[in-house]
Protein backbone atom coordinates (compact mmCIF):
# COMPACT_ATOMS: atom_id res chain seq x y z
CA UNK A 1 0.00 0.00 0.00
CA UNK A 2 1.15 3.62 -0.44
CA UNK A 3 2.57 5.68 2.39
CA UNK A 4 0.00 6.65 5.01
CA UNK A 5 -0.31 9.48 7.53
CA UNK A 6 -0.39 9.01 11.28
CA UNK A 7 -4.06 10.02 11.59
CA UNK A 8 -5.86 6.66 11.55
CA UNK A 9 -2.84 4.88 13.00
CA UNK A 10 -2.87 7.06 16.11
CA UNK A 11 -6.64 6.88 16.57
CA UNK A 12 -6.36 3.11 16.82
CA UNK A 13 -3.26 3.27 19.01
CA UNK A 14 -4.93 5.65 21.47
CA UNK A 15 -8.06 3.55 21.72
CA UNK A 16 -6.24 0.23 21.69
CA UNK A 17 -3.52 0.86 24.24
CA UNK A 18 -0.49 0.53 22.00
CA UNK A 19 2.20 2.75 20.53
CA UNK A 20 3.74 2.70 17.07
CA UNK A 21 7.50 2.40 16.80
CA UNK A 22 9.11 5.38 15.09
CA UNK A 23 12.51 4.21 13.90
CA UNK A 24 15.20 6.53 12.56
CA UNK A 25 16.78 5.53 9.26
CA UNK A 26 20.08 6.43 7.64
CA UNK A 27 20.89 3.69 5.13
CA UNK A 28 19.65 0.56 3.38
CA UNK A 29 20.53 -1.99 6.05
CA UNK A 30 18.78 -0.04 8.78
CA UNK A 31 15.60 0.27 6.71
CA UNK A 32 15.71 -3.42 5.79
CA UNK A 33 16.17 -4.51 9.40
CA UNK A 34 13.29 -2.34 10.60
CA UNK A 35 10.88 -3.38 7.88
CA UNK A 36 11.73 -7.07 8.15
CA UNK A 37 11.14 -7.00 11.91
CA UNK A 38 7.78 -5.25 11.54
CA UNK A 39 6.77 -7.57 8.71
CA UNK A 40 7.48 -10.61 10.87
CA UNK A 41 5.26 -9.24 13.64
CA UNK A 42 2.63 -7.59 11.40
CA UNK A 43 3.20 -4.21 13.01
CA UNK A 44 2.57 -0.75 11.55
CA UNK A 45 5.61 1.49 11.55
CA UNK A 46 6.98 4.97 11.16
CA UNK A 47 10.23 5.46 9.30
CA UNK A 48 11.82 8.69 10.51
CA UNK A 49 14.29 10.82 8.62
CA UNK A 50 16.09 13.48 10.62
CA UNK A 51 17.67 16.66 9.31
CA UNK A 52 21.05 14.96 9.72
CA UNK A 53 19.95 11.87 7.82
CA UNK A 54 18.72 14.05 4.94
CA UNK A 55 22.16 15.61 4.75
CA UNK A 56 24.08 12.35 5.21
CA UNK A 57 22.29 10.04 2.82
CA UNK A 58 20.50 12.48 0.49
CA UNK A 59 16.73 12.37 0.88
CA UNK A 60 16.30 11.16 -2.71
CA UNK A 61 18.19 7.96 -1.90
CA UNK A 62 16.25 7.44 1.32
CA UNK A 63 12.95 8.01 -0.45
CA UNK A 64 13.79 5.35 -3.03
CA UNK A 65 14.76 2.93 -0.27
CA UNK A 66 11.45 3.57 1.45
CA UNK A 67 9.65 3.02 -1.85
CA UNK A 68 11.40 -0.36 -2.02
CA UNK A 69 10.28 -1.06 1.54
CA UNK A 70 6.67 -0.38 0.53
CA UNK A 71 6.96 -2.88 -2.31
CA UNK A 72 8.48 -5.63 -0.16
CA UNK A 73 6.76 -5.12 3.19
CA UNK A 74 3.69 -7.23 2.58
CA UNK A 75 1.32 -4.24 2.57
CA UNK A 76 2.37 -2.86 5.95
CA UNK A 77 1.07 0.63 6.82
CA UNK A 78 4.18 2.83 6.74
CA UNK A 79 4.53 6.53 7.55
CA UNK A 80 7.48 8.58 6.26
CA UNK A 81 8.13 11.19 8.95
CA UNK A 82 10.47 14.12 9.43
CA UNK A 83 12.05 13.91 12.88
CA UNK A 84 12.91 17.17 14.67
CA UNK A 85 12.30 19.63 11.88
CA UNK A 86 13.74 22.91 13.11
CA UNK A 87 12.28 25.39 10.63
CA UNK A 88 9.25 26.04 8.46
CA UNK A 89 11.47 25.80 5.40
CA UNK A 90 12.65 22.27 6.27
CA UNK A 91 9.12 21.09 7.05
CA UNK A 92 7.84 22.60 3.79
CA UNK A 93 10.60 20.87 1.81
CA UNK A 94 9.70 17.52 3.37
CA UNK A 95 6.01 17.97 2.64
CA UNK A 96 6.92 18.81 -0.94
CA UNK A 97 9.21 15.76 -1.08
CA UNK A 98 6.33 13.41 -0.27
CA UNK A 99 6.67 12.93 3.48
CA UNK A 100 3.32 12.00 5.01
CA UNK A 101 4.13 13.37 8.48
CA UNK A 102 6.44 16.09 9.74
CA UNK A 103 7.58 17.27 13.14
CA UNK A 104 8.19 20.91 13.84
CA UNK A 105 10.26 21.21 17.00
CA UNK A 106 9.92 24.78 18.18
CA UNK A 107 10.08 23.81 21.84
CA UNK A 108 13.13 26.04 22.37
CA UNK A 109 11.06 29.11 21.54
CA UNK A 110 8.80 31.04 23.91
CA UNK A 111 5.30 29.56 24.20
CA UNK A 112 3.56 32.01 21.84
CA UNK A 113 6.30 31.71 19.22
CA UNK A 114 6.16 27.91 19.43
CA UNK A 115 2.42 28.08 18.73
CA UNK A 116 2.87 30.51 15.84
CA UNK A 117 5.56 28.49 14.06
CA UNK A 118 3.72 25.23 14.62
CA UNK A 119 0.53 26.77 13.26
CA UNK A 120 2.35 27.94 10.13
CA UNK A 121 3.61 24.40 9.49
CA UNK A 122 0.17 22.92 10.22
CA UNK A 123 -1.55 25.20 7.74
CA UNK A 124 0.88 24.26 4.96
CA UNK A 125 0.94 20.54 5.76
CA UNK A 126 -2.78 20.03 6.33
CA UNK A 127 -3.60 21.67 3.01
CA UNK A 128 -1.57 18.87 1.43
CA UNK A 129 -2.87 16.00 3.54
CA UNK A 130 0.18 15.73 5.80
CA UNK A 131 -0.02 15.33 9.59
CA UNK A 132 2.05 17.39 12.02
CA UNK A 133 3.76 16.55 15.31
CA UNK A 134 4.78 19.38 17.62
CA UNK A 135 6.65 19.58 20.92
CA UNK A 136 5.89 21.34 24.18
CA UNK A 137 8.58 21.15 26.85
CA UNK A 138 12.23 20.29 26.32
CA UNK A 139 14.20 17.07 26.69
CA UNK A 140 17.68 16.86 28.16
CA UNK A 141 20.48 15.18 26.24
CA UNK A 142 21.78 15.34 22.70
CA UNK A 143 20.54 14.05 19.35
CA UNK A 144 22.26 15.46 16.27
CA UNK A 145 21.51 19.22 16.32
CA UNK A 146 19.27 18.93 19.40
CA UNK A 147 21.13 19.79 22.63
CA UNK A 148 19.55 20.57 25.97
CA UNK A 149 21.48 20.55 29.23
CA UNK A 150 19.78 18.75 32.13
CA UNK A 151 19.54 21.94 34.15
CA UNK A 152 17.64 23.58 31.28
CA UNK A 153 15.24 20.69 30.63
CA UNK A 154 11.64 21.72 31.19
CA UNK A 155 8.78 19.30 31.65
CA UNK A 156 5.62 19.83 29.60
CA UNK A 157 3.17 22.06 31.46
CA UNK A 158 -0.27 20.37 31.53
CA UNK A 159 -1.95 23.76 31.96
CA UNK A 160 -0.49 24.91 28.64
CA UNK A 161 -1.12 21.71 26.69
CA UNK A 162 -4.77 22.32 25.77
CA UNK A 163 -4.10 25.89 24.68
CA UNK A 164 -1.11 24.80 22.64
CA UNK A 165 -2.95 22.02 20.80
CA UNK A 166 -6.04 24.16 20.27
CA UNK A 167 -4.20 27.16 18.86
CA UNK A 168 -1.53 25.30 16.88
CA UNK A 169 -3.78 22.64 15.37
CA UNK A 170 -1.10 19.96 15.66
CA UNK A 171 -2.12 16.32 15.25
CA UNK A 172 0.14 14.89 17.95
CA UNK A 173 2.21 16.32 20.76
CA UNK A 174 5.68 15.30 21.92
CA UNK A 175 5.85 15.70 25.69
CA UNK A 176 8.70 15.96 28.18
CA UNK A 177 8.25 13.79 31.28
CA UNK A 178 11.83 12.80 32.06
CA UNK A 179 13.17 11.07 28.96
CA UNK A 180 16.35 12.35 27.33
CA UNK A 181 18.23 11.94 24.07
CA UNK A 182 21.28 9.75 23.64
CA UNK A 183 22.79 6.67 25.31
CA UNK A 184 23.63 8.23 28.66
CA UNK A 185 20.25 8.96 30.21
CA UNK A 186 20.00 9.09 34.01
CA UNK A 187 23.80 9.19 34.31
CA UNK A 188 23.53 10.76 37.75
CA UNK A 189 20.22 9.35 38.95
CA UNK A 190 17.90 6.37 38.86
CA UNK A 191 15.66 5.99 35.80
CA UNK A 192 12.38 7.72 36.49
CA UNK A 193 9.54 9.07 34.39
CA UNK A 194 6.92 11.45 35.73
CA UNK A 195 3.73 9.45 35.15
CA UNK A 196 1.71 11.82 37.33
CA UNK A 197 2.56 14.63 34.95
CA UNK A 198 1.81 12.43 31.95
CA UNK A 199 -1.61 11.62 33.41
CA UNK A 200 -2.26 15.33 33.95
CA UNK A 201 -1.31 16.12 30.36
CA UNK A 202 -3.56 13.36 29.05
CA UNK A 203 -6.44 14.72 31.15
CA UNK A 204 -5.84 18.19 29.72
CA UNK A 205 -5.88 16.98 26.10
CA UNK A 206 -8.06 13.85 26.08
CA UNK A 207 -7.89 11.92 22.83
CA UNK A 208 -4.84 13.77 21.55
CA UNK A 209 -2.02 11.35 20.61
CA UNK A 210 1.17 11.95 22.54
CA UNK A 211 4.75 11.13 21.60
CA UNK A 212 7.85 10.25 23.59
CA UNK A 213 11.28 11.24 22.32
CA UNK A 214 14.51 10.14 23.99
CA UNK A 215 12.95 6.81 24.92
CA UNK A 216 15.57 4.29 23.85
CA UNK A 217 16.22 1.70 26.56
CA UNK A 218 19.94 1.23 25.82
CA UNK A 219 19.81 -2.57 26.41
CA UNK A 220 22.64 -3.58 28.70
CA UNK A 221 23.35 -6.76 26.73
CA UNK A 222 24.16 -4.60 23.70
CA UNK A 223 26.23 -2.21 25.79
CA UNK A 224 28.17 -5.20 27.15
CA UNK A 225 28.71 -6.50 23.63
CA UNK A 226 30.06 -3.15 22.46
CA UNK A 227 32.45 -3.03 25.40
CA UNK A 228 33.47 -6.68 24.95
CA UNK A 229 34.64 -5.94 21.44
CA UNK A 230 36.49 -2.71 22.12
CA UNK A 231 33.85 -0.06 22.71
CA UNK A 232 33.81 2.50 25.51
CA UNK A 233 30.34 3.09 26.96
CA UNK A 234 30.80 3.65 30.68
CA UNK A 235 27.55 4.79 32.27
CA UNK A 236 25.34 4.10 29.25
CA UNK A 237 21.79 3.67 30.51
CA UNK A 238 18.31 4.19 29.10
CA UNK A 239 14.62 4.15 29.94
CA UNK A 240 13.53 0.73 31.25
CA UNK A 241 11.28 -0.99 28.76
CA UNK A 242 8.67 -1.61 31.45
CA UNK A 243 8.22 2.15 31.73
CA UNK A 244 7.80 2.48 27.98
CA UNK A 245 5.23 -0.32 27.99
CA UNK A 246 3.29 1.45 30.74
CA UNK A 247 3.33 4.75 28.86
CA UNK A 248 2.10 3.08 25.68
CA UNK A 249 -0.63 0.96 27.20
CA UNK A 250 -2.01 3.25 29.91
CA UNK A 251 -1.38 6.93 29.10
CA UNK A 252 -2.15 7.71 25.46
CA UNK A 253 1.42 7.58 24.18
CA UNK A 254 0.88 6.60 20.54
CA UNK A 255 4.39 7.01 19.13
CA UNK A 256 7.73 6.19 20.73
CA UNK A 257 10.95 7.20 18.98
CA UNK A 258 13.76 4.66 18.76
CA UNK A 259 17.16 5.56 17.37
CA UNK A 260 19.95 5.01 19.91
CA UNK A 261 19.09 1.33 20.37
CA UNK A 262 19.36 0.73 16.61
CA UNK A 263 22.76 2.41 16.49
CA UNK A 264 23.89 0.38 19.47
CA UNK A 265 22.78 -2.93 17.94
CA UNK A 266 24.42 -2.14 14.61
CA UNK A 267 27.69 -0.98 16.14
CA UNK A 268 27.93 -3.94 18.54
CA UNK A 269 27.44 -6.36 15.66
CA UNK A 270 30.04 -4.70 13.44
CA UNK A 271 32.53 -4.53 16.31
CA UNK A 272 32.10 -8.25 16.88
CA UNK A 273 32.83 -9.09 13.24
CA UNK A 274 35.94 -6.91 13.16
CA UNK A 275 37.21 -8.24 16.49
CA UNK A 276 36.68 -11.91 15.68
CA UNK A 277 37.77 -11.70 12.06
CA UNK A 278 40.17 -8.75 11.62
CA UNK A 279 40.96 -9.79 8.05
CA UNK A 280 37.36 -9.22 6.95
CA UNK A 281 36.85 -6.35 4.52
CA UNK A 282 33.70 -7.37 2.63
CA UNK A 283 30.97 -4.91 3.75
CA UNK A 284 28.33 -7.58 3.20
CA UNK A 285 29.98 -9.73 5.87
CA UNK A 286 29.59 -7.07 8.59
CA UNK A 287 26.58 -5.08 7.38
CA UNK A 288 24.54 -8.26 6.92
CA UNK A 289 24.85 -9.29 10.59
CA UNK A 290 24.27 -5.66 11.58
CA UNK A 291 20.99 -5.69 9.66
CA UNK A 292 19.97 -8.86 11.49
CA UNK A 293 20.85 -7.24 14.82
CA UNK A 294 18.60 -4.29 14.02
CA UNK A 295 15.77 -6.65 13.13
CA UNK A 296 16.13 -8.39 16.50
CA UNK A 297 15.94 -5.07 18.38
CA UNK A 298 12.92 -3.95 16.37
CA UNK A 299 11.02 -7.13 17.15
CA UNK A 300 11.83 -6.64 20.83
CA UNK A 301 10.49 -3.09 20.69
CA UNK A 302 7.31 -4.13 18.91
CA UNK A 303 6.46 -6.43 21.79
CA UNK A 304 7.25 -3.70 24.31
CA UNK A 305 5.00 -1.23 22.48
CA UNK A 306 2.15 -3.75 22.29
CA UNK A 307 1.78 -3.16 18.55
CA UNK A 308 2.42 -6.66 17.21
CA UNK A 309 -0.44 -7.76 14.98
CA UNK A 310 -1.93 -4.26 14.72
CA UNK A 311 -1.12 -3.71 11.04
CA UNK A 312 -4.33 -5.32 9.81
CA UNK A 313 -6.56 -2.94 11.79
CA UNK A 314 -4.56 0.11 10.69
CA UNK A 315 -4.65 -0.98 7.06
CA UNK A 316 -8.42 -1.48 7.19
CA UNK A 317 -8.96 1.91 8.84
CA UNK A 318 -6.85 3.69 6.24
CA UNK A 319 -8.65 2.01 3.34
CA UNK A 320 -12.05 2.87 4.79
Which residues are identified as catalytic? Answer: 83
Other CB atoms within 10 A of residue 123 CB:
11
The Cα 298–Cα 262 span in angstroms is 8
DSSP H helical segments within the chain, as ranges? 7-16, 28-41, 51-53, 59-72, 88-96, 111-126, 158-168, 195-204, 220-228, 241-250, 260-276, 283-305, 311-319
CB hemisphere CA count around 53 (13 angstroms)? 26
- H/E run at residue 143: strand 140-143
DSSP H helical segments within 73-194, as ranges? 88-96, 111-126, 158-168
Closest by alpha carbon to 245, among 297, 304, 293?
A: 304
Q: Which backbone phi and psi does 230 adopt, to 5 degrees?
A: 105, 0
CA distances from 157 to 6, 108, 204, 247, 310 (A): 24, 14, 10, 18, 32
The Cα 234–Cα 237 span in angstroms is 9
Q: What is the DSSP letter of 108?
A: T
For the chain, how big is the Rg over CA atoms in Å?
A: 19
Question: How buried is 227 (Cβ within 10 angstroms: 0-12 exposed, 13-18 middle, 19+ buried)?
Answer: middle
Amino acid sequence: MPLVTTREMFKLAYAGGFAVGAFNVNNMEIIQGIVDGCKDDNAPLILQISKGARQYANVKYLRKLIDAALETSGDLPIVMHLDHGDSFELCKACVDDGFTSVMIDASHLPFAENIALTRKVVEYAHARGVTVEAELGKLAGEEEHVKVDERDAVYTNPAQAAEFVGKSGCDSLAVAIGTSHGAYKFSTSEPKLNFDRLAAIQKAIPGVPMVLHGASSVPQDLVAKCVQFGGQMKGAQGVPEAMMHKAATEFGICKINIDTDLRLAMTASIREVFATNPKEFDPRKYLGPARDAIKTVVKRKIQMLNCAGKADAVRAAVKN
